[in-house]
Structure 1
Amino acid sequence: MPGNPLEIQESLKNQVGAAREKQGRKACSTFLIVDAQSVKNSDTAGQKGYDAGKKVSGIKRHIAVDTQGFPHAVAVTTAEVTDRQGALEALKRCRSGLGRVKRLLCDSGYTGDPFAEGVQDILGKHVTVQIAKRSELHTFKVMPKRWSVERSFAWLEKNRRLWKNCERRLNTSLQFIHLAFLALLLRRS
């Protein structure tokens, strides 16, 4: 059983690759969907920030998933970190397993040339960033392919320990996210 945080991350990467190969796909995806989720802190949590857009005091989970909802890049930051900065941090952390990525799909929180240039600096000049735009303001509509990242966040929310952030350190929250996805993938295999 892995105990080192890098071993846990490597185990997750291997399980994601195995799950994709079981479906007849290559271990690393060429298309990723990026999003962030703000999570409230409990009283015992150590590090926190304030996300003014969502009015949440706590942390942010940044995740890049394939169309199956399997995580390829994950990062945890304080809530005041922008979606763009957090996504770049997640991609940097997991850069070694993202060599085949050609396209990233993001929501409107990731607009701007600095983000696209940052992605290209990390993953290569061949990567394109596509922004999924909503057609009408303030109406709910399922956006094609974007729902898979929301489903991944819903999978995380099924873990009692991840409903709120109770951890004193961001790295501990990150490891619990890795363990939650590992448990999900192991149940499926």
Structure 2
Amino acid sequence: MSKAYPSNLTLAQYELLSDLIPEPKPGGRPREAKMWAVLNAIFYVLVEGVRWRSLPSDFPAWQTVYTYFRNWRLDGTWLRIHERLRQWMRVAQERQPSPSEAIIDSQSVKSAAMVSKAVGFDAGKLTKGRKRFLTVDTLGLVLRVLVSAANVGEREGGKQVLKRVKKMAPAVSRLHTIWVDAGFDGEPFMQWVMNVCRWIVQVVLRPEQTKGFVLLKKRWVVERTFGWLMGCRRLVRDYELLPQTSETFIYLAMIRIMVRRLA
């Protein structure tokens, strides 16, 4: 058993997740690693930002931990767990499982030196790295994520992430309005959303002649979600060789938040 690291799951939190963990494949070797310890190791990497090879020795072997992380990314297990918890969270807040409104925003983050795939320069933020496009509901819970090169435009990235949200049907059957900032504004983008997704785009503009922090309608929700993600050191900078791995760590951060609240 590992030490009591701050990132560890409590027993109640693990029991909530245990029913969502896939069973071992039939006909193979019996599962030797304890799933509680494997999950704790993965969340340790997420929260503390260490390399897989730098996992403390009281966790299972790093190769075992990484194999579970990678396999569950490839077969969609992490996304299925995220979706189940998101629906439970909405029901716990006395909301319908399907949201009626969503908010989009993007965040540019620097990439690590060894990262070369899907890396670009965001001239607006003067950042070389990657851009995270987030769609969240009005509770701040993530619907879908897209990680791209930082030079991808807001409207193009917005289209790609909304396509992913559209594929969530029937989980988004009630969705009718998408809130965006001025970066996503423009008649072509609005028409595309209306024609392809059948949703209405509402633009929230910053009031003119204002300085400092301004609380913007709906927009503050997605900004708060970005703030939640920054509590994980692995997400402060993009260290992942593949953008798909970056997306998985964002879903993992939300899984950790939701399971703590539900338990």
Kindly indicate whether residue 108 of structure 2 is the aligned counterpart of residue 35 of structure 1: no
Retained in 2: the 8 A contact 1:58–1:165?
yes
Q: 1:137–1:35: structure 2 CA closer, same or farther, 3 Å change rule?
A: farther
Q: Which has the larger radius of gyration?
A: 2
Partner of 1:70: 141
Write 1 or 2 for the structure with the bigger share of strand. 1
Aligned to 2:244: 171
Q: 1:146 corresponds to which letter in structure 2?
A: R
Name the stretch that deviates more: 9-18 or 132-141. 132-141
Structure 2 spans left out of the alignment, 5+ residues? 1-20, 23-71
| Residues 1:130 and 2:202 are matched in the alignment | yes
Q: Superposition pairs for residues 52-71 of structure 1, below 5 Å?
A: 52-71=123-142
Once the two structures are TM-superposed, the CA of residue 70 in structure 1 deviates from its matched residue by 0.4
What is the TM-score with the length of structure 2 in the denominator?
0.68
Matched, 1:86 2:160: no
Q: Distance in 2 between matches of 1:146 and 1:63?
A: 12
Alpha-carbon distance change, 135 to 4 in structure 1, aligned in 2, over 3 angstroms: closer
For residue 35 of structure 1, give the secondary structure of its aligned residue in structure 2. strand
1:7 maps to a residue whose letter is: T
Q: 1:55 to 1:89 in 2, by over 3 A?
A: same
Partner residue, 2:233: 160
Cα deviation, residue 43, structure 1: 0.7
Q: Is the 8 A contact 2:130 2:238 kept in 1?
A: yes
1:118 aligns with 2:192: yes
For the residue of structure 1 that corresponds to 2:217, the secondary structure is coil
What is the aligned partner in structure 2 of residue 26 from structure 1? 96
Verify the 8 A CA contact 1:98 1:123 in the aligned structure 2.
no
Residue 12, structure 1, aligned to residue 82, structure 2: yes
Deviation beyond 3 Å, 4+ runs, structure 1: none
Gaps of at least 5 residues in structure 1 are none
Deviation of 1:10 (Å): 2.1
- The code of the aligned residue for 1:105 comes to W
- Report the TM-score, using the length of structure 1 for normalisation: 0.93
Partner of 2:37: none
Worse-matched range after superposition: 23-32 or 133-142? 133-142
Q: Aligned-pair distance for 1:121?
A: 3.5
Contact 1:72–1:98 under 8 Å retained in 2: no
Q: How far did 1:137 drift?
A: 4.7
Once the 2 structures are TM-superposed, how far is the Cα of residue 113 of structure 1 from its aligned partner? 1.7
Q: Which is bigger in relative contact order (C-alpha 8 A, separation at least 6)?
A: 1
**Partner SS, residue 76 of structure 1:** strand
Aligned partners of 2:128 and 2:99: how far apart in 1?
33
Q: CA deviation at 1:118?
A: 2.3
User: Would the aligned equivalents of 1:34 and 1:106 in 2 still touch at CA under 8 Å?
Assistant: yes
Per-residue deviation, residues 147-174 of structure 1 (Å, max 9, x unmatched): 1100000011110100000111101101
Q: Aligned letter for 1:32?
A: A
CA RMSD of aligned residues (A): 1.4
